[in-house]
Structures are given as structure tokens and as C-alpha cells.
Amino acid sequence: MASSDVQSDESLYPIAVLIDELRNEDVQLRLNSIKKLSTIALALGVERTRSELIPFLTDTIYDEDEVLLALAEQLGTFTQLVGGDSYVHVLLPPLESLAQVEETIVRDKAVESLRTLAPQHSTTDLETYFVPTVKRLAQGDWFTSRTSASGLISVCYARVSNHVKGELRQLFKNLCQDDTPMVRRAAASKLGEFAKVVEPEYLRQELVPLFNNLANDEQDSVRLLAIEAGIAMAGLFRHEDLEQQMMQTLRAATEDKSWRVRYVVADKLVEVLQKAVGQEITKNDLVTAYCSLLKDPEAEVRAAAASKLKDFSNNLPTDTREQIIMSQILPCVKDLVGDMNQHVKSALASVIMGLAPILGKDNTMEHLLPLFLNQLKDDFPEVRLNIISNLDCINEVIGVRQLSQSLLPAIVELASDAKWRVRLGIIEYMPLLAGQLGSEFFDEKLSSLCMSWLTDHVFAIREAATNNLKKLVEKFGRDWAQNTVIPKVIQLARDQNYLYRMTCLFAINVLAEPCGQDVTQRMMLPTVITLGSDAVANVRFNVAKTLQRIYPAIDQNTLASHVKPCLEKLCQDSDHDVQHFANEALEKELAEFLDPQGRLDLKSLALQTLISLTASKEGRHLILASPNTDSNTSLLSRVCHLIFEDVQESVRFDALLFLINLTSDSELSILNCKQTSILSDFWLQLLKRCVQDRQYEHADAGCKLLSNVTSRAITVDQLNDFTEYLDKGYPSWFDDLIRAFSTIDYNLKKNNLDYLSAILVNLTQLKTIRERLRNEEHLKRLLCFTDHTHSTIRRGSVACILKNCCFDHESHEQLVHQIGNNDDFICALLLPLSVATADELTEEENDQVPIDLQYLPSNKQLEPDRDIQLILLETILLLCATKSVREYLRSKQIYYILRQYHQQPNLDFACNRTCERIIQILIGDEDYNVETDNLMELNIPHDLREKFHEIDRKEEEANKTEE
């Protein structure tokens, strides 16, 4: 019974949490709870969502607008959460309530969700549930519900019976004739959509009269929406029926008393109306209407109509197009050229050029050219700019030379306009003008203007001017650049204003590629090198960026003889930003020299420079953080290739040394860097070389690199991915590693492979590796290496491996009883901590300790490294956590060994304290009231834990004082 109650409480938990959060005073908390509705519904299941959650939401729709908005949005995606399409109707009640609230944005979102759910209803459910919902909304007392109903009728109309269709048409008619303007406005906005699903006979009989009534409504907001709907409806009629049904109303709209309605007609004239009514009605009606709009008293309407000039003209009947334009439209256009409103003239200027291809050369010369020239002299810069930006249209017909004399003053005036955006606009069109006017005219009239923009006081103008120069060089060629552009750019390097000296560098950045290697090295590179000694730091670091940018246009000899010394000098700059960009540029340049088939002197020089970069933390971070745009040519990829492919031993070693330094940073892992993808196969190949190839001369360096890579700088997840990758590409890697490490003189080139143990230490952070060590009997092969005759690295690493294995308390018995023979594991830990036992212990005490610790000679040496001593003691302390192992350690009387160790002079404080803790555990009485056999799982109260830490701190401070 109690179990049943618990299950009931748990099943009620999600809904209880929702209720509590929705009643919270914090709006944000209520909003967050609504956004988690789908999660709560999943927890409840579809049945309880339908029977409990949806009714609860329906009854509690009284909240802040943002909460209701989130709810309306969520419910539109709830179909699967309530059981699929068969039960989608249960979502209608809360959405119906939301569709009636006062806030418009909430209603609109609720209607949007209802429109989404409508197609998911079956035909039966649509008439049973959805249509009644629409009826209730359409017949609601408050206008909000009726406005929402307007958007729902069209989505269900096509799938219901004829009888219900008649009811829906009547509902829509009532909405169009509603007393409230807001309802009529909503109905008018959906009229075009509804017309697309209504049968043709009802379209003529019922909807056209509704359109005519709405188009003549007293509210202009209703009329303009009706006109939009009418334009959409026009496409549903045959051209011969359109005149009879709708054209009178649409024609009248062009003369509507509200300028907003006329604006809608002007705006939609071409895109919808002209294409819908066909060319005949266009010729008979729309041309007159369009000319009327071009002469409209409101500037906004004239501007909208003017912007459609080109498109409207293109859609005129081909046989009469020219005649209509010349006789009816062009006189209106001539009036607009002198319009008082700048927006009208600007709109006209952006499209008037489009008439030239339509009217042909003669008419353009006679009628349009005077208009263009007039607009080029307009007082407003936007008008002049729009004319210039469309010169390509007239160039195809009469050639831009006809305008050249008028163009020049307009361009000069725009180039010096007070508004910098106007100046920016004319710069963007300069390459187009250059191509049309030719290099001679350009050099004579506009070249000095382009150069003057390089010294503009606005940076955006100077930047655009440099890009403009690049386009001009691409158009006119390198010879033109050498004679006209580059000398003037280089002259900026001697300007007193440092901003202009920087502009010189920016220009060189973009000109190097189109100018080619010869021009770049001969004319521009010396200027860049000279600016490397500039007094302003901003100029100097831009020199570094420029050298990085233009290096593809420089040969290797020049890079080595001129660029590299300059960058090395900048790397020693007093300014940190200069150093950063110089290091970045130097790295990119050096990568070009690291080719296994390249010159030995350049490779060696590049590697030595890179090694010096890795000497600093900033240099290492810079290299690892460099973006990798091409994995085949990145710096690290090239270095990896050198390690395996270069024929020179010294180059291979320097490449390894570079990576060792690079991976020595404990804060940034190479596995996290952006160039890792090109290195993944490298690690596998390197490990293979180190543990399989007994002739590999750089095995120790390779092991050290692998040790760095698997160090603490990466996460356990990354380490796990790394081992999985090795298992997949090299299944026997672990067995080969243990064999290579445990075999004395395995490497025939005198590499001791000590750092293989460091790799193992890093890998034993993973439980899977620790299990592999224990279960595959690899661990017993490592026990002998705690002896003092081996190197400190090997002894310390093996001690760490043993300690890591002891963190799995469930494996303690396996470690002390199954690893090796007899007491091998505990002896491997205690032997380095033991001194002579032959004379110091009695015969009885000697017989009680493990056999490998009995009668040790007087020359037995204690482990000399205090850190290793501490690791071994901490390993024994970990073993003491398990009750069965504590009993085993007591039975082996290891207390005698630890007692001797504790009596040693000058014992390290941490070692002394750890040894005392082990002794206290072993000689103390076992507390049989403790519920757990594992002391590591013992729950120590927080206050006692803090008290113990405080005691430790005081002991450490006292020890420091004594020292």
C-alpha cells in the first residue's frame, strides 16, 4: 500500500510543480515553466496530458501577456504529446480562450497555432470540433474573438460539407459587415485568402460584393486592406470577366480620398495587379491610373509610383509600348524630374535609366538624355548618385561618353559631399565608370580623385578607396598600376599623419595579388620593411599583418633575406600587440619553409625560430590558437610530416622538440587547438614508431611528446576519445606499450623509454585503462620498477600508476591477492620505504613481515626521492580504506616496516604525517559499528571535516615555523 502511495505521489509531481510555478509571483519563473510544458507533458504521458494538463491550462489562462504568448506558441506543437491527430481536438479549448484575449500579439499567435492544427483534424473532427470553435469565436460578444475567427474560416472551408460551407460563408459575410472597424479590418485582410478556396460561383455571387463594400468602407484602414485583397482576387478571374466584376472598384482606388489606399495601389501595381489583369486592361485602364498616381498630390504615392516606372513599362503591350510611354508616361516623368520632393526624385533616378533600352537610341538621345543631364545637376546627392549607379543601362544604348562632360562635375561634387555615405556610394561605382570611360579619360579626369580618397578623414572611405584601387588595377592592368597608382600609394608612407601611413599598408595589402610577385617585391615590399621601424606601434603591427597578407606574392629567398629579419625584429618589439601580430605572421611565413623536399638551411632556420617562439607562454598560445584554413598546409601539419618524412636526422629531432615545447603548456592542450584534425593520425603513427620500431632513434623524444599530449591539460572525455581512437586504429597498442616499457634495453638506439610510464600515468585517469592493467596481468610487470636502481621518472611514474589503480576500492582485494605471487603488490610499495631489517628487527618480527622484506641487508637504501615516498605512502593509505585489506596488512605486520621508516631522520613533514595516519589505522581497534567496509565512503559531517582541515593547516604552519 505504501508503495502505491509513493507511485501516486511521484505521478502527481510534474503537475504539482507546474501549478506551484504558475502561481509564483515572478513572471520570468512562470514564463520558464510554460516553456517547459512539453517536458512536463512527456513526463505525464499522453492520457494524463489530455485529462489533466490541458484542462488545467484551459482553466488558468489569466496571466501576463508574455506568458500567454509562450503558451499559445507551445500548444501549436502539442499534437504528438496528446496522442496524435486523433486527439488534436483537445487542444482547441485553451487556444480558443487565448484567441479572445485583449492583447493582439497573443491572439495572433493563438490563431497561428489553430491554423497549424486545422489540417491535422480528420474531416469528421473538423466539423465536430473545429468548426464549432470557429462559430463560437465568430459570434462572440467581444470584438477580439470575432477578429480571430476571420483568420480561421479559410483553413477549414475546403474540407467540410456543402451545408457547413454555406454556414462558414455566412459567418465571413457577417464579419465583413460587422459594426466594429477592427473586425471588418481583420476580415478584409483575409478576404484574398478566403477567395482562393471558395468555389468560382460563390466568388462572383458573394465575395465580389463583399469586396466592393469593403473597398468603399468609411475607414481607410479597411479600404486599403480590401484593395490588397482585391488585387489578389483579380488573379482568380478570366480577363474578360475582370472588367465586369472588379475593375471599376480598383480603378476608383487610384483616386481614393486616402493617400494610404492610393499608396497601396501604386506599390502593388506591377507585381500583382498589372500581371493579373493582362495587357489589354493595362492599356485601357492601368496606364491612365498609373499616370494619375505619378501626378498624385502626396509625395509618398508619387515616389512609390515612380519606383515602378521601369517594371510597369516593361509589362506594357509590346506593339504599343513605345507609343504609350512617349505619349502618356514620359510627360509625367518630365514633371517628376523637377519634383519638389527629394525622395520622389531619388526613386525616379534609380529606375529612369531603365527606359533607355525600351525606347532605343534615338528617343533616348532626344528625350531621355536631357532628363539624365538635368538629374546629374540635381541639388540632392542621392539623386545624382542613383543616376550614376545605373549608367550601365544607358551605356548599352548610346554609350556613356555622351554623358561624360556632365558626369565629371557631378562625380567631383559627390566625391566631396559633406555626407560620408554619399562619398562612399560614388567610390563603389568608380570601377564601373572606369570600365565605361576608358583608362585615358579616367587618368585625365578621375585618377587624382581616387587617390584623394586615400586621405579622407573617415576610415570607411579610406578602406573603400583601397578596395577601389584593387578593382581598377584588375580592370586596367599591372602596367597602369606601376605608372599611376603604386607611386602615389608609396608616397603616403612618408606622410606625417600615421593614419595615412597605415592606409598605405592597407592599399599594399589589396594590391599585392593583382600586381603580382615582381611588382610587389620590387616596388612595395621595401616600403613595408621601412615602415617596420615606424615610431607608431599601430603602424608597426600593421606592417606585421601586411607581411602576413602579401607573403604568397613573395619568393622564398626574399622571405628569408628580407621578411624574416623584419618580423624577428618586430617579435622583440616593446609593444605587446606588435609582438603578437609579428609572431603570427612569422609562424605563417615559416610554415612555407617546412617542406620535406625543401632546402635544409631554410628548414633548420625555420625550426630554430619556431622553437624560440615556443619558449614563451604567449608564443605557445599563439601557435595553438592560430586558425586552420587548410589542413594540408597548416604549420602543425607540415611539422608532423617532417618528423616522419625528412631525410635529415637533425630536422626530424628539431621538429619533435618544437612539438614537445608546444605541448608543455598545462593550460592549453594541442587536442583542443583548431588544427587537431590534421594531427589525429600523427599520434597513432608516432606511438607505433616508439613501441614497435626498436631502431627508432628519437623514441624518447616521441614518448615525451605523447606524455605531454595525454597530460592534465585535457579532459577525461578527450582522453577517452583518444584511447578509443588508438584502439580502433592500432588494436594492440596497449600490449605493445607494456612490452616495450617492461623490456630492458628494448630500444637498440639507447633510448630508455622512461616516458612510456608517464603516458601510462596519464591514461590511468581512465577506469577502463586501470581495469585493463589489472585484468590482463600487465600490472605485475610494472611492480619491479619501484626499485631505486631505476630512473626517477620510471620509479615515480610507476608509483603513480599503482596509486591510481588503488582509487577503485572494489579492486583492492584483487590487487593484494591476485597481482603477481604472494605479496608482490604490497612489497612493491614497501620495499622502497624499507631500510635494513636484518639487524633492526628481531627474528620473530622478521618472520612475520612478507618474505621479500625479511632480513634486508645493512646497505639497503631508502627511496631517495621524497615525492615518490609520499606517493607510495598515499597508495598504502588508500588500501587501508577497505576492511579486508586492513586485516591483511595487519596480518603481514607492515607496521614494523612503517615504524622503521617513521624513525628515519629528516623525514619530510607530509611523509611523516601520512605514515602516522597509516600506523594509527593499523594499530587502532576496528570499529564494527561502522556500516560500510570502505572508509572512502564514510560520511563525515561537514563541521568535523572543516575541523580536521583546520588541524592540518595548523600542523603545516607549525612545521614551517620550525623549519
Question: Angle between the 220-234 and 181-195 helix axes, to the nearest 10 degrees?
Answer: 0
3-class secondary structure for 58-86?
A: HHCCCCCHHHHHHHHHHHCCCCHHHCCHH
Q: Note the pLDDT tens digit of each residue in 500-510.
A: 999 999 999 88
Distance (Å, rounded) from C-alpha 700 to C-alpha 99? 75
Distances (CA, A) of 269 to 301, 331, 697: 12, 20, 82
pLDDT of 694: 93
pLDDT at 384 over 60: yes
**Residue carrying the nine cell digits 510555478:** 21
- Binning pLDDT at 50, 70 and 90, where does residue 703 land? very high
CA quadruple 910, 913, 914, 919: dihedral, nearest 10: 160
Is-above-0.75 flag for pTM? no
Instruction: Look up residue 499 and give its three cell numbers.
Output: 593614419
pLDDT of 12: 46
* Structural contact between residues 232 and 189, judged by C-beta atoms closer than 8 angstroms: no
pLDDT of 240: 55
Instruction: Look up residue 599 and give its three cell numbers.
Output: 632546402
- What residues does each domain of the chain span? 237-398, 789-962
pLDDT of 875: 93
pLDDT at 873 over 90: yes
pLDDT of 753: 93
DSSP alpha helix (H) spans, 551-678: 556-558, 564-571, 576-591, 600-613, 617-625, 635-645, 649-662
Sign of CA dihedral 568, 569, 574, 579: negative
pLDDT at 238 over 80: no
Smallest CA-to-CA distance from 703 within 689, 690, 722 is with 690
Over its C-alpha atoms, the chain yields an Rg (Å, rounded) of: 43
pLDDT at 142 over 80: yes
Pick the most confident of 395-399, 694-698, 938-942.
Answer: 694-698
pLDDT at 859 over 50: yes
CB neighbour list of residue 823: distance below 8 Å, 6 or more residues apart: 816, 850, 851, 852, 892
Q: What is the distance, to the nearest Å, from the Cα of residue 585 to the centroid of all Cα atoms in its chain? A: 25
pLDDT of 420: 82
68 dihedral zone (left: phi>0; alpha: psi -120 to 50; beta):
alpha
User: Which amino acid, residue 482?
Assistant: Q
pLDDT at 677 over 70: no
Instruction: Look up residue 209 and give its three cell numbers.
Output: 460584393
Distance (Å, rounded) from C-alpha 289 to C-alpha 66? 46
pLDDT of 769: 92
pLDDT at 700 over 80: yes
pLDDT at 872 over 60: yes
Question: Angle between the 430-437 and 420-428 helix axes, to the nearest 10 degrees?
Answer: 40
Q: What is the DSSP letter of 256?
A: -
pLDDT at 580 over 90: no
pLDDT of 138: 87
Q: Note the pLDDT tens digit of each residue in 443-494.
A: 777 777 788 888 888 888 888 888 888 888 888 888 888 888 888 889 989 8
What's the length of the chain?
963
Distance (Å, rounded) from C-alpha 630 to C-alpha 610? 20
Q: Note the pLDDT tens digit of each residue in 241-300.
A: 555 556 677 777 777 788 888 888 888 777 654 555 555 665 666 788 888 888 888 889
Distance (Å, rounded) from C-alpha 410 to C-alpha 413? 5
pLDDT at 660 over 50: yes
What average pLDDT does the segment 62-91 reach?
Answer: 83
Sign of CA dihedral 472, 474, 477, 483: positive
Q: How many other CB atoms are there within 10 angstroms of residue 178's CB atom?
A: 19
pLDDT of 4: 38
SS3 call for 644 = helix
Distance (Å, rounded) from C-alpha 257 to C-alpha 570? 73
**Superfamily of domain covering 237-398:** Leucine-rich Repeat Variant (1.25.10.10)
**Residue carrying the nine cell digits 638551411:** 601
Longest CA pairwise span in the chain (Å): 131
SS3 call for 882 = strand
Distance (Å, rounded) from C-alpha 493 to C-alpha 512? 16
Q: Note the pLDDT tens digit of each residue in 180-193.
A: 889 888 888 888 88
Position with higher pLDDT, 118 vs 553: 118
Task: Give the rounded percent of residues in the chain with a pLDDT score beyond 70.
Answer: 85
Mean of all residue pLDDT scores within the chain:
81
Position with higher pLDDT, 617 vs 848: 848
Instruction: Look up residue 233 and give its three cell numbers.
Output: 482576387
* Structural contact between residues 502 and 540, judged by C-beta atoms closer than 8 angstroms: no
pLDDT of 572: 82
* Structural contact between residues 19 and 52, judged by C-beta atoms closer than 8 angstroms: no
pLDDT of 392: 67
Q: Note the pLDDT tens digit of each residue in 730-774.
A: 999 999 999 999 998 899 999 999 999 999 999 999 999 999 998
**On the CB side of 371, how many CA atoms lie within 13 Å of its CA?**
28
- Binning pLDDT at 50, 70 and 90, where does residue 346 land? confident
Distance (Å, rounded) from C-alpha 282 to C-alpha 314? 12
Instruction: Look up residue 374 and give its three cell numbers.
Output: 538635368
**Residue carrying the nine cell digits 600587440:** 577
pLDDT of 802: 93
- Binning pLDDT at 50, 70 and 90, where does residue 675 land? very low
CA quadruple 713, 718, 723, 729: dihedral, nearest 10: -120
User: Which amino acid, residue 936?
Assistant: M
Q: Note the pLDDT tens digit of each residue in 925-941.
A: 766 555 566 666 666 67
pLDDT at 239 over 60: no
What average pLDDT does the segment 4-17 reach?
Answer: 46
pLDDT of 740: 93
